[in-house]
Amino acid sequence: MVRLVGSIDKGVLYVVATPIGNLGDISARSIAVLQQVDLIAAEDTRHTKPLLHHMGIATPLFAMHEHNEQAQLDGLIERLGAGQSIALVSDAGTPLISDPGFLLVRECHRSGIRVSPVPGACAAVAALSVSGLPPDRFRFEGFPPRTASARQQFFRGLLAEDATLLFYESSHRIVASLADMSMVFGGDRRAVLVRELTKIHETILSAQLSELSAIVERDSNQSKGEIVVLVAGARKDCDSVSAEAERVLDILRETLPLKQAVSLAARISGEKKNRLYQLALKNERQ
């Protein structure tokens, strides 16, 4: 059954995505929900008020952030249980993605209160869509640790990850963070810096990590604003199979079972069986 844009239910927590820059990205449904709920729980009312004013929305605001979320849970759950509807918003984008709200959503599930998403902008997904890096598998890691030693250890834990890696980073730490990424992942690893998405100074820089780090270090403008960094995943062993070995394997696969073709291709080419087997499985999935 298709629901009307303006249709909302009582006693529901609506998790509402808001624009990450361009106010034109807010959806008609988001506006309708924000207009009709009883209360809007905002990460920072100072950020949310201008958006609501622009949209002509006068719904009461309530501050709920990382420092008071736990303390406010009982009161919000009580209001929802009494039939009030509440919209949860962050400063920008989709709530809970490196923003507060998890504790409230979890408590709603525990209390049998319905939680409904109102989809919209998300900086991580938007950045991935324009990055040119493989989008089929990705791993969002939020903000890296603040200190250099913890950050480097954090990156080392992701060194073998073959999915595209996504990070948020602050303007104050982006130079140091990129330098650490280059050191840990290797300067030749492909990466993309996406800055100020949907805003006037939107920038997308794609380069090897060493080059990207150097660009941002010498151009202070590239370390300003909201930043997403994407890093290509680690190459698997099967990527190092020689072109000749892959050609032999392809020919044998036309007439032989997989294991037999791999075994014979390994004998002919000198490549390791495991690499050839992983390559064959990868090609079958494509």
Choose which CATH entry (3.40.50.970, 3.30.950.10, 3.30.420.40, 3.30.365.10) describes domain 124-231: 3.30.950.10
Domain 12-121 has CATH 3.40.1010.10: yes
Mean pLDDT of 138-160: 95
User: What CA–CA distances, in Å, run from 57 to 29, 84, 116, 169, 251?
Assistant: 13, 18, 20, 32, 66
| pTM score, whole prediction | 0.79
Neighbours of 263 (CB within 10 A): 16
Mean pLDDT of 75-90: 97
Q: How confident is residue 1, by pLDDT bands cut at 50, 70 and 90?
A: very low
CA distance 100 to 43: 7
> 112: phi > 0 → left, psi -120 to 50 → alpha, else beta; which?
left
Mean pLDDT over each residue of the chain, to the nearest integer:
92
pLDDT at 238: 47
Strands 86-89 and 39-42 turn out to be parallel
Q: Tell me the pLDDT band of 131, cut-offs 50, 70 and 90.
A: very high
Banded pLDDT at 240 (limits 50, 70, 90) = low
User: For residue 247, what pLDDT band results from cuts at 50, 70 and 90?
Assistant: confident
Residue 4 has pLDDT above 60, yes or no: no
